[in-house]
Chains A and B, each alone.
Chain A
Amino acid sequence: GQCFDCRSRRRSPQTCQQANLALLALDSPFSVNEVEALYELFKKLSCSIIDDGLIHKEELQLALFQAPYGENLFLDRVFDLFDEKKNGVIEFEEFIHALSVFHPYAPIDEKIHFAFRLYDLRQTGFIEREEVHQMVAAILMESEMILSDELLTMIIDKTFADADSDKDGKISKEEWKVYVLKHPTLLKNMTLPYLKDVTTAFPSFVFNTEVED
């Protein structure tokens, strides 16, 4: 539907949508054309299973794993972080907000914070040993790899010896920051180079745009 501002200014729905996209671009590292190109991606994802203009968890799962079914700890966390309003669906605005963090030019602090929230499964404000254990165990199961409990404990011990500097058995936000700055490869997944040339990846936005960057 049209927003109040556009109704009161008697703008057409098309112009209204352009105004909303322009507003979203203002508050993100994306240009208006890039937001429009991402809207093409959003439209495609949000109608893949339920055609309602919102991304449901199954649709995100389908896009990431080529199959909409099955429990996945990581997908649950990613979806939860995208879904700011916690209403079980991802709206376009939420999609842009979350993808902004993955932009190559997004501030590193935002990437560090987002990654922390991904790993803080129970949202306690700390990354705890059990959470790390749970994530490693989930990957082992997912990839059908076998690792002895002894080796798994050793890996987690070593990781905590390095990351948990006050030795209280959990990693705080501050400890996490120091740790990832020492191991920047851990933030590799937090940057999507595709976002730098999203207009080339989704050229169909050109048919809908009224704006030239």
Chain B
Amino acid sequence: KFFNAFEFISSMSSGFDLSSLFESK
């Protein structure tokens, strides 16, 4: 599915997903 390295990084790295800052409220 991931033939693009950046797509792989942006969709798989939890450290780059800041939405959990808001989910942990």
Q: Which A positions have Cβ atoms within 8 angstroms of B?
A: 41, 44-45, 63-66, 72-75, 77-78, 102, 115, 118-119, 132, 135-136, 138-139, 142-143, 155-156, 158-159, 162-163, 183, 185-186, 188-189, 192, 194, 198, 201-202
**Which residue of chain A has the shortest Cβ distance to B24 in the bound complex?**
A63
Which among B2, B9, B15, B21 has the greatest number of chain A C-beta atoms within 10 A? B15
Known contacts A136-B5, A159-B4; A189 and B10 CB within 8 A of each other: yes
Q: Which B positions have Cβ atoms within 8 angstroms of A?
A: 2-22, 24-25
Q: Is the interface of B mostly helix, strand, loop or mixed?
A: helix
CB-CB under 8 A from A185, the residues of chain B are: 7, 10
The 17 listed contacts between A and B (C-beta, < 8 Å) are A41-B22, A74-B15, A78-B15, A115-B10, A135-B9, A136-B9, A143-B12, A155-B4, A159-B6, A163-B6, A185-B10, A186-B7, A188-B10, A189-B16, A189-B18, A192-B22, A201-B22
Whether the pair A162, B24 counts as a contact (CB closer than 8 A) is no
Whether the pair B13, A139 counts as a contact (CB closer than 8 A) is yes
Q: Is the interface of A mostly helix, strand, loop or mixed?
A: helix
**Which residue of chain B has the shortest Cβ distance to A138 in the bound complex?**
B13
Whether the pair B9, A162 counts as a contact (CB closer than 8 A) is no
Distance in angstroms between the alpha carbons of A200 and B20 in the assembled complex? 16
Distance in angstroms between the alpha carbons of A44 and B12 in the assembled complex? 27
Known contacts A64-B15, A64-B18, A189-B17; A155 and B3 CB within 8 A of each other: yes
Known contacts A136-B9, A201-B22; A65 and B14 CB within 8 A of each other: yes
CB-CB under 8 A from A189, the residues of chain B are: 10, 16-18
CB-CB under 8 A from B5, the residues of chain A are: 132, 135-136, 155-156, 158-159
Beyond A64-B18, A135-B9, A139-B13, 15 additional contacts (C-beta under 8 Å) are A64-B14, A64-B15, A65-B20, A72-B15, A73-B15, A74-B13, A77-B15, A132-B6, A158-B3, A158-B5, A159-B6, A186-B4, A192-B18, A192-B22, A201-B22
CB-CB under 8 A from A156, the residues of chain B are: 5
